[in-house]
A and B are shown apart, each in its own frame.
Chain A
Amino acid sequence: MTNQQKTSVVQAPNSKKLVRKLILTVIAMFGFGFALVPLYDVFCDITGLNGKTNESAATYQASGIDSSRMIRVQFISRNAQNIPWRFEPMIREVSVHPGERKVIKFYAKNQSTTNMTAQAVPSVSPGIAAAYFQKIECFCFNQQPLKAQEDVEMALQFYVDPELPTDITTLTLSYTLYDVTQAAGS
């Protein structure tokens, strides 16, 4: 009797079923890797991880202005991957009461000789405060096309939620400007 025959006798019962289950597990875990992408976004929304702010316009809720507190809101800008634009806040810092609406402007100029499209991505520090920083109107909700040498003033209207923890007195809003000309073109 050969060994092969013996082996097949021994392994006959439920190898196939088990192998099928294990392969299904493998496929499920591959899917789980991709499922982590939306899960991560949900997680960031809840915890304010990475200072992600609201991605679409918030409606202003007139829940009253807390005039007992002053919050410093600082603005900084950064050009990613040397995008040849001038991009900066027109005012570096404002002080607001929680609940108070404020409009400020950013300046952008396409200093290159080609037409380009850019996308600003915001981030709030400390990250835990991101959920309390509400943008009513923001240039970051849309892509910004600019012709060569064209410039624009872009508005940001926001308010700080009065629920903001009292130990936070300063918020920093950072915008990073990315070149999305290729993605916008296709």
Chain B
Amino acid sequence: MTTEVLTEDLSEHNQHHKMTGIKRWLYTTNHKDIGTLYLWFSFIMFLTGGALAMIIRMELFQPGLQIVEPDFFNQLTTVHGLIMVFGAIMPAFTGLANWMLPMMIGAPDMALPRLNNWSFWILPFAFAILIGSFFMESGAPNFGWTFYAPLSTTYSNGSTAFFVFAVHIMGISSIMGAINIVVTIMNLRAPGMTYMKMPLFVWTFFITAYLLIAVMPVLAGVVTMVLTDTYFGTSFFNAAGGGDPVMFQHIFWFFGHPEVYIMILPAFGIVSTTIPTFARKKLFGYSSMVYATASIALLSFIVWAHHMFTTGMPLFGELFFMYCTMLIAVPTGVKVFNWMATMWRGSMTFETPMLFSIAFVILFTIGGFSGLMLALTPVDFQYHDTYFVVAHFHYVLVTGSLFSIYAGAYYWLPKWTGHMYNDVLSKWHFWCSLISVNLLFFPMHFLGLAGMPRRIPDYALQFADFNKWISIGGFAFGLSQLIFLVVVIKCIKGGEKAPAKPWEGAEGLEWTVPSPAPYHTFSTPPKID
């Protein structure tokens, strides 16, 4: 009798497992399932956006027009940017948040599980629309991921409506994800976990979610204006009707600059988790890290016009935005020095997550320095719209955000799959990526300083040698990422059994549950002292 009751209970408990095939994934409200979906989706998008970048680098391998038309080249750069920002980096972070946040704060699941399901499942449609526009007569968006008016309005190739609709869906998905994160963190922390006891990973996602809630609606607003300007005869950005195209840039960058921090603050959270683990020391300056993150988030709202120094601003405006931008280097510096202080005299070991984290600290700082150079109004007039800018934002987004995601993925793979990843292959992935990524992006600084403009399919002969090396670095980096795919698949299929806490120095609630993490964790909240 008792056994019967027990099995009944269990079958009810495990009803999600009983759903088979596609239904399990379509109907799931489990944060771990949804996290997995987000992570796989972002990786597929990363490879898609990467494939576009490979065509870009093939075209730029030598001067002259080889394989694509200039208009198609513009479509490639535009969609590459959109996919990498909204399809790869942001969903990857949301995926990590879904998997790890509830386990880190001792919650049974995300606070709004159905919303969670929806915020994931509308994403593939957004990208189907965006990528599908490649196969339409008008072609994909070709006005750059920043879709400056009048390129996206008066001179649109007809793809604006698809672009706007896709961005709306991506925005709604991000906003729902962010609301879920805020509610989860505010309401579902285990008893005793005060705000200042939360892991820094949780803090950075908390602040990022607020940034998303504040600026994604502004993006929705500006794409709506572009839509009505293009198709419904309004004149927000049309000077003939009393509008102003420069206003587009102001509204866009009011969203765009906080967006930059949306893509880097979670990275700070990840390396603030991995570095203390492998240095076997507590994170140096926890509370200063929290305040630094919050200050970066606040400052991000008053620096947007540093993207627009060449639009003809009053001198006061240029100075204001220059100094505010440079001010961001202070809290960012606090973070970098805190990571260094955490490693200082620590008992460091160099497992793959740590390698990616250290590479993050060094290479992100290089990206930060070139950002500081771009912040200087007088010199920005030379760097504006050159490959120096391309070098800068790829250093912060690829060796910054992406490397931190890899660090996080390797760090938690044993928890997700229950197996250790293949150490040798993962080291190959790291070293190949590290060398090729620098070959890919470092020479871009010199090209930019020498005056090579961005977003062009052809270039002057003197840039030929650097571009050849950049392309070789690009192909090598692209191929290196396939190693990661192999590592993950091997890790899911088998490998050395992972203990509950595979890292000696790791701290946090996620290591108190077995590996792989059971489908439901912390049904009873743990007690935090």
Contact = CB atoms under 8 A, between A and B. Distances in A.
B111 A47 contact: no
A127 B314 CA distance: 8
A130 to B, nearest CB: 11
Contact of B108 (A6, A22, A119, A180): A6
A179 B239 CA distance: 11
B314 A47 contact: yes
Interface string B359-377: 0000000000000000000
Interface residues of B, number: 48
A45 to B, nearest CB: 12
Contacts of A48: 314
Contact of B187 (A18, A36, A37): A18
Contact of A15 (B112, B241, B246): B112
A128 B318 CA distance: 13
B218 interface: yes
A186 B242 CA distance: 17
B524 interface: yes
A81 to B, nearest CB: 7
A7 B109 contact: yes
B187 A50 contact: no
A40 interface: yes
Given A13-B187, A36-B251, A180-B241, A22 B213 contact: yes
Interface string A15-59: 100110011011111111110110010001001111010010000
Q: Which interface residue of B107, B175, B247 has the most chain A CB atoms within 10 A?
A: B247
B496 interface: no
A51 to B, nearest CB: 8
Nearest to A186: B233
B217 A19 contact: no
B207 interface: no
A48 to B, nearest CB: 7
A179 B220 contact: no
B179 interface: yes
B520 interface: yes
B188 interface: yes
A179 B240 contact: yes
B488 to A, nearest CB: 28
B183 A15 contact: yes
A119 B523 CA distance: 68
Contact of A10 (B12, B107, B218, B251): B107
A107 interface: no
A119 B217 contact: no
A50 B520 contact: no
B514 interface: no
Contacts of B215: 29
Interface in A160-186: 176, 178-180, 182-183, 186
Contact of B183 (A18, A30, A176): A18
Given A2-B12, A29-B215, A127-B312, A11 B111 contact: yes
Contacts of A23: 179
Q: Which interface residue of A40, A47, A127 has the most chain B CB atoms within 10 A?
A: A40
A6 B218 CA distance: 37
Given A49-B314, A176-B239, A29 B13 contact: no
A21 B314 CA distance: 38
A82 interface: no
A39 to B, nearest CB: 10
Contacts of A176: 239
Contacts of A121: 239-240
A103 interface: no
A30 B12 contact: no
B237 to A, nearest CB: 10
A40 B243 CA distance: 10
Nearest to A118: B240
Interface in B205-261: 213-222, 225, 233, 236, 239-242, 244, 246-247, 250-251, 254-255
Contacts of A25: 213-214
A76 to B, nearest CB: 15
Nearest to A126: B312
Contacts of A180: 240-241
Nearest to A3: B520
A183 B187 contact: no
B341 interface: no
Contacts of B218: 29-30, 32-33, 36
Contacts of B217: 26-30, 32-33
Contacts of A55: 242
Q: Which interface residue of A1, A50, A179 has the most chain B CB atoms within 10 A?
A: A50
A148 interface: no
B108 A26 contact: no
B221 A22 contact: no
B285 interface: no
A80 interface: yes
Contacts of B397: none
Given A2-B13, A29-B214, A22 B182 contact: yes
A14 interface: yes
Contacts of B183: 15, 18-19, 22
B175 A11 contact: no
Interface in B175-189: 175, 179, 182-183, 186-188
Interface string A77-100: 000110000000000000000000
Nearest to B238: A178
B425 interface: no
B349 interface: no
B221 A33 contact: yes
Nearest to A35: B221
Contacts of B107: 10
Going nearest first, the 8 A-B pairs with the smallest beta carbon separation are A33-B221, A178-B240, A30-B217, A29-B217, A33-B218, A3-B520, A22-B179, A40-B247
8 contacts: A3-B108, A26-B216, A33-B251, A34-B221, A47-B317, A49-B317, A127-B314, A178-B240
Interface of A: 1-3, 6-7, 10-11, 13-15, 18-19, 22-23, 25-34, 36-37, 40, 44, 47-50, 52, 55, 80-81, 119, 121, 127-128, 176, 178-180, 182-183, 186
Given A34-B221, A36-B247, 5 more contacts: A2-B13, A15-B187, A29-B213, A40-B251, A127-B314
